[in-house]
């Protein structure tokens, strides 16, 4: 089965359970914790992906890590994923679940990539402008990429505005190359 189909199927199942039990906000917090754990602990991800670690050991480890931190239904969901040997998809399931929740709540995901860190007040202004432009709530994530040299790139869903120095330099290079050939 396709990896994305697996993660989407589990994400939808958790989303539907959350809607049914009126626990979406609780599940969102739990899933963000799981995603954060995956992002911050390479050992955790290695344990999930390891074929050497037994399923029983993985289940026990997951219970020790998350038992006091997440809702009982979330813990059961994680346990089900591990029992079905789908634990390597846990991060993808988390990402898909959060995307379903954002869509349900009418929130668009935006990524602001810049060459250096941008002040919080500026990102707040950008978020407000995007919210007005798209007539929707915006969840803005910032990424620093030194290769942009300067400027920024904003990506909202499938639309992108590239105002980076690197992009402008590449455009000038293409124009110079096309003019020299003629």
CATH domain 3-103 topology: Peroxidase; domain 1 (1.10.520)
What is the pTM assigned to this prediction? 0.75
Count of CB atoms situated within 10 Å of the CB of 89: 22
Q: In what order do the strands lie in the sheet with 107-114?
A: 137-144, 107-114, 151-156, 159-164
Domain limits of the chain? 3-103, 107-181
Mean pLDDT across 53-68: 95
Please give the pLDDT value at position 157.
82
Question: For the segment 41-50, what is each residue's pLDDT rounded down to a tens digit?
Answer: 999 999 999 9
Q: How far is Cα of residue 16 from the mean position of the Cα atoms in its chain?
A: 19
Q: Does domain 107-181 have CATH number 3.30.360?
A: yes
What lies within 8 Å, CB to CB, of 141 at 6+ separation is: 109, 110, 111, 112
User: pLDDT at position 1, please?
Assistant: 53
Mean pLDDT value of segment 136-147: 92
Rounded mean pLDDT, 103-127? 92
- Is the confidence at residue 82, as pLDDT, over 70? yes
Q: What is the pLDDT of residue 88?
A: 93
Dihedral class, residue 106 (left if φ above 0, else alpha if ψ from -120 to 50, else beta): left
Average pLDDT score over residue span 12-31: 96
User: Is the pLDDT assigned to residue 181 strictly greater than 70?
Assistant: no
Give the pLDDT confidence score for residue 2 in this predicted structure.
58
**DSSP string for 7-65:** HHHHHHHHHHHHHHHT-HHHHHHHHHHHHHHHHH-HHHHHHHH-SSS-HHHHHHHHHHH
């Amino acid at each position: 089965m396709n990896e994305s189909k697996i993660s989407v199927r589990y994400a939808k199942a958790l989303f539907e359970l959350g809607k049914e039990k009126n626990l979406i906000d609780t599940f969102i917090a739990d899933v963000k914790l799981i995603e954060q754990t995956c992002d911050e602990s390479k050992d955790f991800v290695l344990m999930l992906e390891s074929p050497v670690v037994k399923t029983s050991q993985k289940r026990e480890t997951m219970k020790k890590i998350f038992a006091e931190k997440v809702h009982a239904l979330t813990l059961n969901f994680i346990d089900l994923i591990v029992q079905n040997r789908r634990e390597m998809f846990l991060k993808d399931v988390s990402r898909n679940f959060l995307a379903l929740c954002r869509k349900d709540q009418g929130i668009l995901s935006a990524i602001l990539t810049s060459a250096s860190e941008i002040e919080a007040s500026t990102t707040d202004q950008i978020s407000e402008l995007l919210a007005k432009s798209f007539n929707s709530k915006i969840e803005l994530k910032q990424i620093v990429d030194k290769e942009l040299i300067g400027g920024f790139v904003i990506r909202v869903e499938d639309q992108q505005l590239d105002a980076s120095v690197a992009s402008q330099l590449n455009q000038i290079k293409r124009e110079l190359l096309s003019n020299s050939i003629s």
